[in-house]
Amino acid sequence: GSRSSKTFKPKKNIPEGSHQYELLKHAEATLGSGNLRQAVMLPEGEDLNEWIAVNTVDFFNQINMLYGTITEFCTESSCPVMSAGPRYEYHWADGTNIKKPIKCSAPKYIDYLMTWVQDQLDDETLFPSKIGVPFPKNFMSVAKTILKRLFRVYAHIYHQHFDSVMRLQEEAHLNTSFKHFIFFVQEFNLIDRRELAPLHELIEKLGSKDR
C-alpha cells in the first residue's frame, strides 16, 4: 500500500449506523470548521463518556497512522530507549502482564503501548459499542490512562523523529492531529500538566495562536 495508508496496528472501526458513528461524523464536521476549541466541546445533550470514547478511538487511529509513517526510522538502534528529549524517559508497565516497569526501546514500548490501548478499546465492558450498554464506573480513569500514554507517542515523534516527519511532509498532519488532541484533553482536564511537560513549549505555542 501507499505510505499514507500504512498504519502501525489495524484501524479500530466504529460500527456504521451506531450512535457513536454519528458522534464521530459530528466531530469530523465540526473539525472542518477550523475552530478546534469549539470542535472539542461536548455536543449539546450528549453523554460525556461516549464523547470521550469516540474521540479516544479517533486519536488512537490518528496516532497509529502517524507512527506508521515513521516506523522504519524508529528502530532498536536509533531509539534504544523510549524518550521524549534528553530529560524524559518512559519505562513500560501495564499493571497486569508487566507489573514492574521495564526499560525498553522506543519501538518495543510503542508496540506494547498500542497493543495495550487496542485491547482496552476492544473490551466491550470498557468501551461498549452497543446502544444502551452503560460505561463502567471506572471509565474516566481508563480513558485518562489511555490518553496519557498516547501522548507519549506524540512526544517521542516530536522529539526524536521530527526531521523524518518534515522530510515526509507530514508535519501539517502531525501538528493538526496533536493540536486537536491537546485541545481535547485540556477541555475535559484529562491529562495532568506534569505529564505534558515534554511538549510544554509546543502546547503553549499552539494555544496562543487560538486566543
Please give the Cα distance from 181 to 184 (Å, whole number).
Answer: 5
Whole-prediction pTM value? 0.90
The total of other beta-carbon atoms located within 10 Å of residue 23's CB is 20
Count CA atoms closer than 13 A to 140's CA, side-chain side. 8
Question: Which among 165, 192, 187, 163 has a CA at the least distance from the CA of 176?
Answer: 165
Greater pLDDT, 124 or 129: 124
Please give the Cα distance from 184 to 147 (Å, whole number).
Answer: 10
The total of other beta-carbon atoms located within 10 Å of residue 3's CB is 9
Give binding residues for Zn(2+) as ranges.
Answer: 74, 79, 156, 161
The total of other beta-carbon atoms located within 10 Å of residue 100's CB is 6
pLDDT digits over 172-192, tens only? 999 999 999 999 999 999 999
Residue 33 binned pLDDT confidence (cut-offs 50, 70, 90): low
Give binding residues as ranges.
Answer: 74, 79, 156, 161
The total of other beta-carbon atoms located within 10 Å of residue 169's CB is 8
Q: Torsion over CA of 87, 88, 91 and 92, rounded to 10 degrees?
A: -170
Rounded mean pLDDT of 127-146?
Answer: 93
Residue 1 scores a pLDDT above 70: no
